[in-house]
Amino acid sequence: MDSKRNTPELRFPEFKDEWTRHILGEIATFSKGKGVSKAEISDRGELECIRYGELYTVYGETITDIRSKTHLKADECVLSQSNDVIIPASGETQLDIATASCVLRSGIALGGDLNIIRSPLNGVFLAYYLNTKKKQEIASLAQGISVVHLYSSQLKTLILNIPSDTEQNKIAAFLTAVDDKIQLLEKKKGLLEQYKKGVMQKIFNREVRFKDDDGKDFPDWCEKKLGSIADVTKLAGYEFTKHVVYKDTGTIVALRGLNIKLNKLDLAQVKYIDGSQLEKLDRSKLFVNDLMFTYVGTIGEVALIPENDRFYLAPNVARIRAVEDEVHANYLLQYFTLDSFKNREIANYIATSSQPALSMENVRKFRIALPCLKEQAKIATFLGANDDKINHVSRQLELTRQYKKGLLQQMFV
């Protein structure tokens, strides 16, 4: 037996034995759930249930907290046993259908279109295994075009490499702990975002006001059109393309709409430009605190430019440059993310043809509620500090997800 093929790259040091090969159909039994229709789901139902579509949208590799209930009686349903692994029997795509979850509680009604795998293996270990090393193989077994189907007869043919019960349990517990950390970070991020949304509403409705450094009230707010407090511009496509040569690498970036996401720059997919004719792109050159604004397709995404001499404005993105003695750029950034602003101003001016779009004339008509500059600065600083907390948790979340992804690639064979 080839030990390299039957032991994973990453392993807990106390385990040395080779993993053994098994055909899933020889060590597991298979059955199917029983249909629970949408009409049979009820918040007042007494029997908890899992429907196949929830495996795509709600659950991960482990299921303990059940989202749905039904008014059906237990003797009308197929009920789970703790440690069952469930996989959809039908779905929209082959990869979607290759989604396994372990039900950690008994007595849960399992809806129709669910394959139920019952085995002596640690179900959590099996779910992670099927979702990683076996996902592509399971997807290739699925049949169909508009709707794909996966049958127990196909799942039975899977060949698995299995460690001892002790090692299964340790892998399952470790990966569950990583997922628990991910869920905690997701919850923390959600609470921070919810807090910010609530406090922004109070600030911009003027239910909460800041004081000056002497503890005195700031002057009343006023309202001005964006065009009177900022320079708003876009580029015609020919202005840019006739002077630009794109490169795969470099330092000078042409900023496009897809580079503006979640109120910040996303440089995962950038186009670099040749520097030989930059002197002909003065209107395109961007400076610190220029506000980028998407006005075609996905409308209303915003981001601030963080540095000079690196970024140039590409077509289909607007540049908003604040007049310094009228408005702070960071205040504008926060104002543009308000739901009330998007619903009142942006939505009011969107024109739809082949795709949604805004004219610069209408962008300049946006009404902006303005406190004095000093109060603007306090608002921007306060909300920016909350953004820093959200971004910090987001980075932790992304790092933990990448860590999990690396583990999953190396802990199974």
Does residue 179 carry a pLDDT above 70? yes
- Give dist(CA 324, CA 47) in Å, integer: 62
Give mean pLDDT, residues 337-360.
88
Q: Which domains does the chain have, with CATH numbers?
A: 1-15+165-213+372-413 (1.10.287.1120), 20-162 (3.90.220.20), 222-370 (3.90.220.20)
Mean pLDDT of the region 42-58: 91
Under the banding of pLDDT at 50, 70 and 90, the label for residue 1 is very low
Count of C-beta atoms within a 10 Å radius of residue 257: 20
Q: Which residue has the tokens 């393309």?
A: 241
pLDDT, mean of residues 248-273: 91
Asked whether the whole model's pTM tops 0.75, one would answer yes
Residue 37: pLDDT band by 50, 70, 90 thresholds?
confident
Chain-wide mean pLDDT for the chain? Answer: 93
Q: For 12-33, what is the mean pLDDT?
A: 96
CA 123 → CA 22, 82, 156, 307, 396, distances in Å? 15, 9, 16, 51, 28
> Which region among 22-31, 203-212, 242-251 has the lowest average model confidence (pLDDT)?
242-251
pLDDT at 409 over 50: yes
The DSSP code sequence of 173-207 is HHHHHHHHHHHHHHHHHHHHHHHHHHHHHHHHTTS
pLDDT at 56: 87
Residue 237, pLDDT above cutoff 90? no
Q: How far is CA 79 from CA 50, 110, 112, 242, in A?
A: 10, 6, 11, 66
pLDDT at position 6 over 50: yes
What percent of the chain has pLDDT above 90? 79
pLDDT band at 2 (very low <50, low <70, confident <90, very high): very low
Q: Name which of 136-145, 283-292, 325-334 the model is least confident about.
A: 136-145
Does pLDDT of 3 surpass 70? no
Query: What six digits make up the tokens of 11?
Result: 């392993």
pLDDT value, residue 143:
87
Distances (CA, A) of 106 to 52, 81, 82, 115: 17, 4, 5, 16
pLDDT tens figures, 267-314: 989 999 887 778 888 888 999 999 999 999 889 999 999 999 899 998
